[in-house]
Amino acid sequence: MRLVDDYTQIPPFEILEPARRTSPFVFNAPHSGNAYPRSLIRSSRLDRHTIRRSEDTFVDGLFAGVIELGAPMLKANFPRVYVDLNRAANELDPEMFDAPLDLAVAVDSPRVAGGLGVIARIVGERQEIYGAKLPASEASARIATLYDPYHHALEQLIESTVDDFGACVLVDCHSMPSGAVRAMGEGAGPRPDVILGDRFGTSCAPELTDALAAALREVGFVVGRNRPYAGGFITEHYGRPPLVHAVQLEINRALYMDEAYYTRSRSFGRMQDQMTAVCETVMDVFRRRGSSDADWPLAAE
């Protein structure tokens, strides 16, 4: 964890660009940020360890090899618990604030009802983050200064990729706690190391998701599909095949880190090499196959 007064000390997000763009892939790490505002720590009822429970620690590092493969990566430096970029901007809980919000609110959002809106109410095992209601102005400020600029940058990356290559493949990179993995499917086969979410074939051509799954299995991972993670707002919002294929990738944290201490495990370097190899394989499949509608038929077809 890093503590900052605000995001003038460090950039709120970064685009890591290759020396030369050679691939239509864009990698996104919206939840790996670990620069926490001191104001958040002061207003939280949680200790500095617990408040990190929703953080996708080190996920940006796992995929760092894609830069040398000719693809950019966008990554947040602010934490998910402060602003969750994988939610719609209007997924806000008005009960968290001390006055009416001047923003539209998705009152029927199940994610808001569960405490996991764009400004989260809980982390981990339903642990309440805040000890008191937040100022209503806080919602507008976080959306305007962090959420909107990040999504604008992502939109620009996608649009420029489509302009340059005729299509874009957005890989949204996440991690899942090992406790959630252990709870999956008792007696229903091996538990997954990685879960791919393509909104059940609507955000990415299923054959492209198949290629990614095959590459992951080739290096030894057990791969699940869409359950329980079918892809969040980013996958759903940006995936519009055949122009933009968007797939969410969730990795079991126990494979590469010590979840109790937020440190890399001895297997981190090997895992990083495996992710680079997987991405290189899928990039090559996409290059050889092509990017037209006929090349990648959709589930509805």
The answer to whether position 295 is within a domain reads: no
Domain-embedded: residue 294: no
Contact 185, 260 (CB under 8 A): no
For 156, residues 6+ apart whose C-beta sits below 8 A from its C-beta are: none
Report whether 138 contacts 215 (CB < 8 A): no
| Residue whose pair of structure tokens reads 């086969």 in the numeric block | 189
| Residue 298 confidence (pLDDT) | 64
* Residue 297 belongs to some domain of the structure: no
Amino acid at 265: S
Between CA 59 and CA 71 the distance in angstroms is 16
**Structure-block tokens of residue 180:** 């959630």
Task: Indicate whether 102 belongs to any domain.
Answer: yes
pLDDT the model gives residue 301:
44
State the sign of the Cα–Cα–Cα–Cα dihedral 80, 85, 87, 93.
positive
Gap between the Cα atoms of 253 and 61, Å rounded: 13
Q: What is the pTM of this model?
A: 0.95
Contact criterion met (CB below 8 Å) for 77 and 10: yes
Question: Are 177 and 253 within 8 A, CB to CB?
Answer: yes
**Residue 60, in any domain of the structure:** yes
Short-list 153, 279, 257, 141, CA closest to 208: 279
pLDDT at 293: 65
pLDDT digits (tens, 9 = 90+) for 189-206: 789 999 999 999 999 999
Regions of the chain with pLDDT less than 70: 185-188, 292-294, 296-301
Supply the range of the domain harboring residue 263. 2-288
Per-residue pLDDT at 103: 86
H/E segment holding residue 270: helix 268-289
Whether residue 95 lies inside any domain: the answer is: yes
Residue 214 lies in a domain: yes
Q: How open is the CA angle 152-299-245, to the nearest 5 degrees?
A: 25
Q: What is the CATH number of the domain that holds 230?
A: 3.40.630.40
Residue 196 lies in a domain: yes
Distance CA 116, CA 68 (A): 35
Neighbours of 32 (CB within 10 A): 23
For residue 275, give the nearest of 68, 74, 33, 21 by alpha carbon. 68
- Region of residue 30 (left: phi > 0; alpha: psi -120 to 50; beta: else): alpha
Question: What's the structural domain count of the chain?
Answer: 1
**Pairing mode, strands 25-29 and 168-176:** parallel
